[in-house]
Structure formats: C-alpha cells, structure tokens
Structure 1
Amino acid sequence: MHSVTERRTPVPVRIYDPGPGPGARPRPGAGPGSAWDRPLIVFFHGGGWVLCDLDTHDGLCRRLASLTGAVVVSADYRRAPEHRFPAAADDAFSVAAWAAEHARELDCDPARLIVAGDSSGGNLAAATALRARDHGARPAIAGQLLLYPVLDPRLDGVSASAYAEGFFHTTAHMRWYWDQYLGPDGDPADPYAAPGLAPDLSGLPPALVVLADCDPQREEGLAFARRLSRSGVLAQVQLHTGVFHGFLGAADHLPEAYAALAGAAAWLRGLGTS
C-alpha cells in the first residue's frame, strides 16, 4: 500500500490507498499531485454483525485495493447485540455518504463508488444500495460487490440444509447471528435488515455476487442475483466450487480464494468503462 490511514468519519474507518494502479484513469486537466480518478470501494466486514473488526479483514482489504487500484474505505460499524439493527445499517449508509462527499479528496471518481462486503458485510452493502436508491440515488453507487452475502433470515434454501454442518460456517451459527442482530422485537422482513426480502429490487446498481459452493448461504445469494436480473439490474454470479463460507479470508493458503478475488477485481475495474 502507498498508505494506510485511520480516520474518524461518522464512524471510524481505515483507508487503504494503493497508489495509481490498474483501476486509475488520468483526470483530464488535473495538475500534479491530483492526476488520478480511481474507483472508491466502501467495504463492510463480515462476522454476523457480532464478530470481527478492521483488523480481521485487513488482509482482504489490502488485496482488494492492490488488485483493483481502488482506494478502499473499511468501516468499523457498531456491532450487535449491544447495538442491534438498524445501528450497523445506519453506520454503513453514513460511511458510504461520507465517501461520496470526500471522493475527490481521496483522488477517486465520485461516479465510481462501489459498496462491498463479505457475509453480513455483504448484507450491509446490499442494504446501503437499497437505501441509496430510496433516497434518490444519494449517494450515487456504481456497483455492489457481494461476497457470499447474508440476505434472508428464513434460512430455508437447499444449501441451508445440505451444508448445515461440517463446512466451517453452520446454519445454527447463522440463526444465532440473526437473533443477535434483530433482537426479540426486530422485523425480519425489513428490507434494510434482509435485502433478500425487499419487495422491489429495480433501479439498483450492477452487482457481482461471489458465492461458495459449500455454504448455507449459497441459495439466498443465487436467489438474490436472479431477482436482480428479473428486475432489470445487471447481475453476475461467480460460484466457486469446493469452498466454504469465508474462504476469501484464506487467500494466502487457498489458490481458489486468490482467483476469486482476482475475478472480482476484474469485474470491478470494468464498471463504467463502456
């Protein structure tokens, strides 16, 4: 990284700047020191809205920045059960809005703002895209990168049964995480809590849904991508066989994880190029 800095926005963030790279474009008429327009990724870490933090996902954010040439803003949102829904969703939206306002300061193109996240962070990314659409495309989001996202609290898909146990992340774990996030009085059908149950997915930005084959959440990710497509949203799926929920965190050990990140980076770099 050219630099890694921590900053207080509406919530604490860590900003990864790889320097000009494959995602950078010369800015017409820009002077020295501010000559690049790069993608800007706002990243939300996984952990069931309960676990993990900036440090657990430091390596993943570094790889995303390095492979894409984008600046990555990783958000340290509030976590359950001390802070139940909508705290994390509110924090995620606030950081995305902050990033849009400060894109030029970061030598990034405000029109190339991407929300991204893994697992429950993918939930927050999808919820942020929904909320931005409902606020008149403010902030304007160019794409959503959803890495084995958690989207549907019903957990009634085929994969939730087929991979309920024995593949690192279990269906029982996921039910517990949902209980912590929503609490006894939460609405499991609220679209900002469960984007997979949103009644209307039209008008959302293009999405890449990266899925693990041996994952209780696989079917809800596939269902979300299908619904996006039926709603007129450009949606792609990259399904990786023989791997488990959370596999992208093992890119130092799993060639499949590095290949998946490289594929996601190629998709992201292609956004807005036509």
Structure 2
Amino acid sequence: MILITGAGGKTGKAIIKALVARGAPVRAFVRSIAHGASLAAMGAREVIAGAMDDPHVWSRAVRGTEAIYHICPNVSPHEIDFAKELIAAATDLRVPRLVYHSVLHPQIEAMPHHWNKLRVEEMLFASVLDFTMLQPTAYMQNSLAQWDVMKREGVYRVPYPVETRLSLVDLDDVAEAAAIVLTTSGHSAATYELVGTLPLNQIETAETFGWALNKTIRAEAETIEAWDQRARSAGMDDHERETLTKMFRAYARDGLKGNPNVLGWLLGRPPTSLAAFAARVAANQA
C-alpha cells in the first residue's frame, strides 16, 4: 500500500492516477472526507481524513504502508510541523520508504515556502528513513488560470517582468516520475530535480500559447499591487498572498532556472515541452 498525503489537491490526484495506472494500491490522506468519493472513483483503495497536526491520524494513515509520498498543502505555514509528525509516525511504524514532494531550489531563502521545504529535507537527512527528494519546478498547469484571458483578450499577464526566465514542468510528467520512484528500486537517498524546460522568458511562453490558440498572445507584466488586490478579492488569505508576493519578487530578481536532463532520465523520454502541453490543452478545450 502506498500512502499519498495531501491527496485532494491537483498534485495528489495526478500521482494517484499515475500509480493506479501502474497497478499500485493507493491509500489517500485528505483533510476532508468530502474528497473521498472522487478519490475512490480514481482508484484509491482507502481514504483517510484528518488533520496533519494530529499524531493519531498520522498513525492510522501510515500503518501498513510500504511507501509514502508526502505533499504538504501549498505554501502552508505549518510545513515543518506537519513533517515532524509524519517523520515520527513513519519512523515508529518502520515504513520502508518516504518520498518527499519538495521544490526546485529549496535553498532560496527569499521564498519562505522553498526555505521551509529545505528544513524538511534536513529533517529527512537526519532521520533513519529511506527517503527520496523530488524537486519540481513551477507547473505548466499554473498557466491555465490565464487561459480564458488569453483566449478573450490575447494577453498573458504575470506579476513580474516579461523578461523573467522560468523553467516549467508538466504535472503529468511529475506524477509519472513520482510513480516510477515509488514503484521501482534504486532511488534511496536521491534528490531529483524535476524540470521540463530550459528557462523561458514570458514573451516566449506567451508566443507558445499563441501558436496553440492560433492567435497573437502578448506577455504583459502587472504590478504586484494589482495582483495582490485581485488575489484579496478572490478570497486568498494574508499568509498565502504574502508568501506568493515574496516568490514573485524573487522571480523578478533571479528567475527560476533548471535543467530537464534528470527528468528525462527518470522518464526514459524527453519531458513534455511547453508547446506540446499547450497543444494538448487547446485540443482538449476545442
């Protein structure tokens, strides 16, 4: 049995889908049982609901598993505390393997959610667990929040300069890599950067979406203040807005640059290009 934590989010669901496709038995750990029916329909054999700060829930979730894939809720201020509870439960119950969903370049202190993941990696280094770190870059799927605006207005809007260079990855490739690491041997103590593209500036990204949509798409930078107002109006809480604001400022200064060689090696094929991803989305929405 493989436990997926944070299983109700887009990453958890993608990994469950990839594991089920490989015939692996999956237990899903979610915050609310409201996710249970949809995860069971995807092929999860068991669903456990509870809080990640509850050691009793962790014991129930972890017991009897052969491997764990840990996904903390996005930009959670409790990432380190949740990981402490998980590591304690996994150690006590002698779980054979733990794969941690980290992030590309967790050593960037200017991004608090990256820095917290580095602290969790350090905890795993100090543990007795057989661990693997997966470090994905920004998902191509994040662009889908702009898809309707691109189709309607011909604008790809980002809260940092259009010259900012970011490496991207298809979430489906991340899920496939995670499934490979969870179901095959040889990955103990490994740290894998999961990157699908060389760094692209936002003009190149907009042009790629334009080719898929068969229209001109223009990259446009908006101020962080304008983004913050939209996020506030949409109900995003203060912590998430502040964390993402720091991320956007770090992007503006340094970008987020990676190399796709490691992901290609894991997959046994070239990672999905942004052009292929955009074409797939356009075809699915046609």
Instruction: Please say whether Structure 1 and Structure 2 have the same fold, judged by a TM-score greater than 0.5.
Output: no
Please classify the TM superposition score into its range, dividing by the shorter chain length: 0.3 to 0.5
Flag the structure with larger Rg.
2
- Bigger fraction of residues in helix: 2
